[in-house]
Structure 1
Amino acid sequence: MTSFLHPLLRRLCLGLLLGLMLQGIASAASEEQEIPLDHAPYRVNNMLALQNGARLFVNYCIGCHSAKYMRYESLRDLGLTDDQIQHNLMFGDAKIGDTMRIAMTSAQAQKWFGTDPPDLSIITKALASHRGSGTDYLYTYLRTFYRDDTRPTGWNNLVFPGVGMPNPLWMLQGERAAHFQTAPDPADPAVNLKTFVGYTQLTPGAQTTTEYDSTVADLVAYMQWMAEPDQLFRKRLGVIVLIFLGLFSFITWKLKSEYWKDVT
């Protein structure tokens, strides 16, 4: 009997401990305000926006983030020639048929950022959730960086609190400080909810707020296209198939009516 109760009690204690840990995590998370996502402008059908987004991607993102499922030659679909791709969007000894990989090693990433930066090939699909699309997430994320001296990089983010990367576009957006206020959570007065109330611009950026939002929209549109380069063709094909099915259904209905008109 004793040998039976001992493992059972141990499992119950472990279960209780795990439950307390999860409750503590949930309580800590409840103190963070979930920032609503802004809707990203749809520009996947805008070739100029995609070309600008590709330029931004190779200048501001690919230094740390790879896109290992995308080849440089695929940028031809954006209306770019091999010469334009090689002279404007490729650096180092990469070749037109190579994938978009980075020189930074995993050991360097761990040392500088504490983790390996994620690959961005299909990041817009990976970040989709109940909050919104992955495109909306990135659009909001890249516009909500702020200075935070408590972080190792000196930066933090409203969408991703405690983010490990600095703001890659800070020269365009400028540096900002975020302001918060703490008040009891209406749903649970025992919990203090930290709420964002606004920014203070510390240093000006190279672009105005409107220009910067448009720049981020172009960059995010490119990453949305990169996650599925054939999406425009897929949608056009879908429309063609629906039209065909509609005509085929009409013809079938007329044929059925003609065939059965003399049957009573």
Structure 2
Amino acid sequence: MKNLLLTFLLLLTMSFGVVASEEIELQEADIDLSDSASLQRGAQHFVTYCLGCHSAKHIRYLRIAVDLGVDQKKVLQEIAPEGASIYDQLHSAMNKHDAEKWFGTQPPDLSLIARSRGADWLYSYLKGYYLDPKSPTGVNNTIFADTAMPNPLWQLQGEQVTEIRKTIYGEQTELVLQEPGTLSEEEFDVFVNDLVGFLVYVGEPVQLERERIGKYVLLFLGLFLVIAYLLKKEYWQDVH
């Protein structure tokens, strides 16, 4: 029985070690939901580079205008696609039939992708594409291996390849820019950060309001705790 227990603990330790070794270090996104200009740029990027395949049906252009403090006409002119109404949701231009014909399945709605994956994961994923001749799309991804989605930002980022370098910690795979894109590395980082920031906002548009109200809720609960304690002390003062 003792040997069986030791064997189980050893296997458990090894499994944790395997999981830890397979973890990929994510790059950190710098998200500021109070930066309206960044969110506006992110909305423009999403409509231009993502809305062709993906939707974000849980938010409307009107909500974006109100939350970001942007005039409705400006949203229709600079963010929404031509012909869209301010009351429209962010629906993809691709219908289900064409999506299944071209990709085998309909691309997912991205309304909650930032909440399910996290900002750092999205940021690293969009920067993690590299050339892979074995892939049907010609590219692969360091964060999501064998991804079915082509790189939508390849013209901006350029083309990356993987290189294996030996370090004191062993062999490490690094991405190297083989063919530059239209943006510099710094400009592309800002571009992706704006896009991810918009997806974080879409996942919870009321986040800033929730945090603001939360402070008053905690203050109320603190005051109520004091009042409740004083009442308890008053009611129980004659109980021995």
Q: Structure 1: where are the runs of 5+ without partners?
A: 1-28, 128-133, 187-194
1:116 aligns with 2:92: no
Q: Distance in 2 between matches of 1:110 and 1:151?
A: 19
**Aligned twin of 2:217:** 241
**Aligned twin of 2:49:** 60
Supply the RMSD in Å over aligned alpha carbons: 2.6
Q: Distance in 2 between matches of 1:165 and 1:263?
A: 71
1:142 aligns with 2:131: no
Q: Is the 8 A contact 1:172 1:212 kept in 2?
A: yes
SS at match of 1:249: helix
SS at match of 2:149: coil
Q: Which amino acid aligns with 1:111?
A: K
Q: Distance in 2 between matches of 1:262 and 1:112?
A: 79
Q: Distance in 2 between matches of 1:257 and 1:159?
A: 58
**Aligned twin of 1:16:** none
1:160 aligns with 2:144: yes
Deviation at 1:229, TM superposition (A): 0.6
1:97 aligns with 2:81: no
Q: Is the 8 A contact 1:50 1:221 kept in 2?
A: yes
Q: Is the 8 A contact 1:175 1:205 kept in 2?
A: yes
Deviation at 1:226, TM superposition (A): 0.3
State how many pairs are aligned: 218
**Aligned twin of 1:232:** 208
SS at match of 2:47: helix
The residue correspondences of 1:1-264 to structure 2 (distance < 5 A) are 33-76=22-65, 77-127=67-117, 134-180=118-164, 196-254=172-230
- Structure 1 residues 199 and 49: alpha-carbon distance in aligned structure 2, compared to 1, 3 A threshold: same
Deviation at 1:74, TM superposition (A): 0.8
Q: Distance in 1 between matches of 2:69 and 2:222?
A: 34
Q: Which amino acid aligns with 2:116?
A: A
Q: Is the 8 A contact 1:175 1:204 kept in 2?
A: yes
Q: Distance in 2 between matches of 1:42 and 1:102?
A: 25
Runs (4 or more) in structure 1 with deviation over 4 Å come to: 254-264
Between 1:163-172 and 1:52-61, the stretch displaced more is 163-172
Q: Structure 2: where are the runs of 5+ without partners?
A: 1-17
Q: Is the 8 A contact 1:65 1:120 kept in 2?
A: yes
Structure 1 or 2, whichever has the larger Rg, is 1
Normalising to structure 2: TM-score of the pair? 0.80
Q: Is the 8 A contact 1:66 1:119 kept in 2?
A: yes
Q: Which amino acid aligns with 1:98?
A: D
Deviation at 1:162, TM superposition (A): 1.0
State the identity %: 43
Q: Distance in 2 between matches of 1:118 and 1:217?
A: 21
Q: Distance in 1 between matches of 2:23 and 2:135?
A: 20
